[in-house]
Amino acid sequence: MNNDLLHHAYDPEQFRQQGHQLIDRLADYLTQMQQEPHLAVLPWQSPEDKLYSWEADFDNSPQQNINQFFDRVLMESIHIHHPRYVGHQVSAPAPAAALAGLLSAFLNNGMAVYEMGPVSSAIERLVMKQIAHRIGYDTSGGGIMNSGGTLANLTAVLAARQIKTGHTTWQQGTHEQLALMVSEEAHYCVDRAVKIMGWGEAGIIRIPVNENYQMRTDQLEPYFQRAEQDGKKVIAVVASACSTSTGSYDNLEEIASFCRQHDLWLHVDGAHGAAAAFSEKYQSRVSGLSLADSITLDFHKMLMTPALTTGLLFKNESDSFATFSQQASYLLNEDEEDWANSGKRTVECTKRMMSVQVYTLLRTYGWKLWDENVTLLYDLAQRFAQLIRERPELTLAINPQANILCFRYAPSDVPDNLLSQLNAKIRQNMLEDGRFYMVQTQLKKEIFLRVTLMNPFTTESILSDLLDEIIRNGKELNFFYDRSS
């Protein structure tokens, strides 16, 4: 059999050459991004056109020039490191963490069992213990890592279900109508977790929010009482810290007190905002975080690692062993807890060596790096809010509590009923233009523009240009509406 291709695919010298070229290219790209290039943040093409152009590429395959392909991927992607990227909550990964990602991809130590990932398993244990301590858990605290906040939230509620139903549900199922309570502004993955567990729509009790889009804690008791009267067994509250749309932090201390009163599990979805715990200036945003039974924390959001890298922390680490447990024996025997074989506690079997990415940052820069990043982004959000307030054509939805801002173009001469349509069109025009990348969201059925400040190289002057561009677009569109009506 001729194995030429296989030898070629594993040729160390070719790898060295291609790797050097790629890293050089990425370093040049990063330099370019930091100098605020004139390049579009997102070189826009419709999905169909994009697919068509890659189909054409496929027809020319196979080609040996891998760097030409990498270069095309680079230039056609959305540029998260671009300082005018102010869109979704995805980090511009720090280069050291991206290098750790490459190492992880190459070594492929899958980690379900200790032998298949000795280093990353030990580092995962270490990192989770350190973070548990940092956020205020005592020595019982710890956790696991998995691929994404969505999966971590599901795993947390699975653990809650098992523990609050006397450790029987995993094995025997349940005929009770179980339910959890969550703010109506929570990320949609909480709703999905409930439906995946088979609790149906009755299993999710949506608590209304106040004018700052935070869960109304005064409504917890009446909603709980009503659920009980309806025959539901409420087992948990999921708090948002912070919410996705507006970056609003629920009052964790009040929610924790309610949970204590009714013996409910408190899970904090801190996928985005639990990172505030690392900022000396903003850690009060998550006061009461250590009262939670479990916490989701995405490192690939404000903590500068590539996706997906998520921690699921438990106040009592032994609870994490209950999630998929066939029996309660783990409670009786410390050895059974077996932290080193992480597949026992995660939905995933094989997973990436994500702990290495987190540890690379901690080991190289210490906790201070995250403090600097979160503080800078939250400070910038305050200054951005001020820039919005200074422009009478714009309205801020709420004063930002995090690095997420919702606002809209709403000059006094445009009727309220046109504002959603107008702002959606502004956002579409700007998406296709590509100079900035921001998103939109719906608040109380109205469309708002939404900015998340993720890049430490985004400046106040860039944000001022963004607002001018929004207003310019708004005026142009408004003129068009006026003439067409």
Residue number of the CB closest to ligand PLP reads: 149
Is the CB of residue 271 less than 8 Å from the CB of residue 152?
Answer: yes
Q: How far is the CB of 190 from ligand PLP (least distance, A)?
A: 8
Q: Which is nearer to ligand PLP, 154 or 430 (CB)?
A: 154
Report if residue 148 touches ligand PLP, rule: CB under 6 A.
yes
Report if residue 403 touches ligand PLP, rule: CB under 6 A.
no
Is the CB of residue 37 less than 8 Å from the CB of residue 82?
Answer: yes
Report if residue 89 touches ligand PLP, rule: CB under 6 A.
yes
Report if residue 150 touches ligand PLP, rule: CB under 6 A.
yes
Q: Which is nearer to ligand PLP, 157 or 470 (CB)?
A: 157
Report if residue 290 touches ligand PLP, rule: CB under 6 A.
no
Sequence-distant contacts of 30-39: CB under 8 A, at least 24 apart: 30/81, 30/95, 33/79, 33/81, 33/82, 33/83, 33/457, 34/81, 34/83, 34/457, 36/83, 36/84, 36/457, 36/462, 37/82, 39/79, 39/82
Is the CB of residue 112 less than 8 Å from the CB of residue 475?
Answer: no
Q: How far is the CB of 411 from ligand PLP (least distance, A)?
A: 31
Report if residue 79 touches ligand PLP, rule: CB under 6 A.
no
Residue 241 to residue 401: CA distance in whole angstroms: 10
Q: Which is nearer to ligand PLP, 247 or 343 (CB)?
A: 247
Residue 368 to residue 453: CA distance in whole angstroms: 19
Contact string 228-247 vs ligand PLP (x = CB under 6 A):
------------x---x---
Report if residue 298 touches ligand PLP, rule: CB under 6 A.
yes
Q: Which is nearer to ligand PLP, 162 or 240 (CB)?
A: 240
Report if residue 248 touches ligand PLP, rule: CB under 6 A.
no
SS3 readout for 127-150: HHHHHHHHCCCCCCCEEEEECCHH
Report if residue 149 touches ligand PLP, rule: CB under 6 A.
yes
Q: How far is the CB of 38 from ligand PLP (least distance, A)?
A: 30
Angle at 185 between CA 183 and CA 187, to 5 degrees: 100
- Residue 449 pairs in a beta bridge with 407, 440
Of residues 433, 437, 431, the one with CA closest to residue 455: 437
Q: Among 32-40, 143-151, 177-185, 358-366, which window interacts with ligand PLP (CB under 6 A)? A: 143-151
Report if residue 178 touches ligand PLP, rule: CB under 6 A.
no
Residue 311 to residue 145: CA distance in whole angstroms: 4
Q: Which is nearer to ligand PLP, 205 or 308 (CB)?
A: 308
Is the CB of residue 324 less than 8 Å from the CB of residue 170?
Answer: yes
Q: How far is the CB of 474 from ligand PLP (least distance, A)?
A: 27
Report if residue 351 touches ligand PLP, rule: CB under 6 A.
no
Report if residue 187 touches ligand PLP, rule: CB under 6 A.
yes
Q: Which residue is listed with tokens 């939230």?
A: 153
Longest dimension (CA), the chain: 77
Of residues 461, 373, 390, 475, the one with CA closest to residue 425: 475
Residue 140 to residue 67: CA distance in whole angstroms: 48
Q: How far is the CB of 171 from ligand PLP (least distance, A)?
A: 28
Q: How far is the CB of 400 from ligand PLP (least distance, A)?
A: 15
Residue 271 to residue 443: CA distance in whole angstroms: 20
Q: How far is the CB of 151 from ligand PLP (least distance, A)?
A: 7
Report if residue 272 touches ligand PLP, rule: CB under 6 A.
yes
Q: Among 136-144, 145-153, 212-220, 385-393, which window interacts with ligand PLP (CB under 6 A)? A: 145-153
Report if residue 374 touches ligand PLP, rule: CB under 6 A.
no
Report if residue 271 touches ligand PLP, rule: CB under 6 A.
yes
Count of residues in contact with ligand PLP, rule CB under 6 A:
14
Contact string 376-395 vs ligand PLP (x = CB under 6 A):
--------------------
Residues in contact with ligand PLP by CB under 6 A are 89, 148-150, 187, 189, 240, 244, 269, 271-272, 298, 308, 310
